Amino acid sequence: MRLPTFLEERRLITQGFLMVAGVDEVGCGCWAGPVYAAAVILPLNSRIGLIRDSKQLSAKQREHLVDQIKTKALAWAIGSASHEEVDRWNIRQAAFLATRRAIASLSTKPDHILSDGFVIPELPMPCKRIIRGDTKVKSIAAASIIAKVARDAEMRRLDQTFPGYGFAQHKGYGTRLHQRALKKLGPSAIHRMSFAPLVKLF
């Protein structure tokens, strides 16, 4: 298994970009709830060996790592876009919006952004996309962990507000449990009604 490194961050630092933030988003494929993004600036001497793509970690590992990342990061921040914004703008534009909000919330302004998969538009600083960046770039992997833990916590909270859908279990993804709940209960107030599976169902 390939582990993420600081290679990309080091390259940019040698070019004069001293504050490099990694960004990633989670929840794009979900049928319900907000999309979340995180931005992280990690010092090169931060020794957090388990950092990798959040999907390769258990929930317990992510919870353990997120505290280490937040403690050792020079800056970190979370942004989100609501299900209404997903339906209004489409999921990709909503994910960009969540990412810009995370970047704008950083306590230290970054000189450069490293992004997983996409160049984030409308940023005041340069941005480089890294395909499968959460498996290659340490700051992007750290952002994926922070965003995943934050969104999972929000979906557990929403499960209390909208019981019966199983949001605490599937986090809004289109699982069989979720599909059965939708057929029984109909869509909730936080479902993304612009998504094709929901358009077909309702």
Whether 109 maps to a domain, the answer reads: yes
Whether 182 maps to a domain, the answer reads: yes
Whether 2 maps to a domain, the answer reads: no
Provide the number of structural domains found in the chain. 1
Query: Residue ranges of the alpha helices (H) in 105-195?
Result: 138-161, 167-170, 176-185
Average pLDDT of the chain, as a whole number: 96
pLDDT band at 201 (very low <50, low <70, confident <90, very high): confident
Answer for the pair 168, 11: CB distance below 8 angstroms, yes or no: no
Q: Give 135's DSSP letter.
A: G
Per the structure, the complete domain to which residue 167 belongs is given by: 7-201
Residue range 161-199, pLDDT digits in tens: 999 999 999 999 999 999 999 999 999 999 999 999 999
pLDDT band at 53 (very low <50, low <70, confident <90, very high): confident
Give Dmax (Cα) for the chain: 57
The closest alpha carbon to 124, from 14, 21, 13, belongs to: 21
In this predicted structure, what is the pLDDT of residue 81?
98
What is the C-alpha to C-alpha distance for residues 187 and 165, in angstroms, rounded to an integer? 9
Answer for the pair 116, 133: CB distance below 8 angstroms, yes or no: yes
Name the amino acid, one letter, at 185: L
pLDDT band at 73 (very low <50, low <70, confident <90, very high): very high
3, pLDDT greater than 80: yes
In this predicted structure, what is the pLDDT of residue 128?
98
Report the CATH number that the domain containing residue 57 is assigned in CATH: 3.30.420.10
In this predicted structure, what is the pLDDT of residue 49?
80
Whether 1 maps to a domain, the answer reads: no
Residue range 94-145, pLDDT digits in tens: 999 999 999 999 999 999 999 999 999 999 999 999 999 999 999 999 999 9
Whether 27 maps to a domain, the answer reads: yes
Whether 66 maps to a domain, the answer reads: yes
pLDDT band at 52 (very low <50, low <70, confident <90, very high): confident
What is the C-alpha to C-alpha distance for residues 93 and 100, in angstroms, rounded to an integer? 10
What is the C-alpha to C-alpha distance for residues 15 and 13, in angstroms, rounded to an integer? 5
What is the C-alpha to C-alpha distance for residues 92 and 12, in angstroms, rounded to an integer? 26
Answer for the pair 54, 141: CB distance below 8 angstroms, yes or no: yes
1, pLDDT greater than 90: no
Answer for the pair 194, 89: CB distance below 8 angstroms, yes or no: no
Whether 154 maps to a domain, the answer reads: yes
Whether 92 maps to a domain, the answer reads: yes
Answer for the pair 52, 169: CB distance below 8 angstroms, yes or no: no
The closest alpha carbon to 62, from 73, 70, 51, belongs to: 51
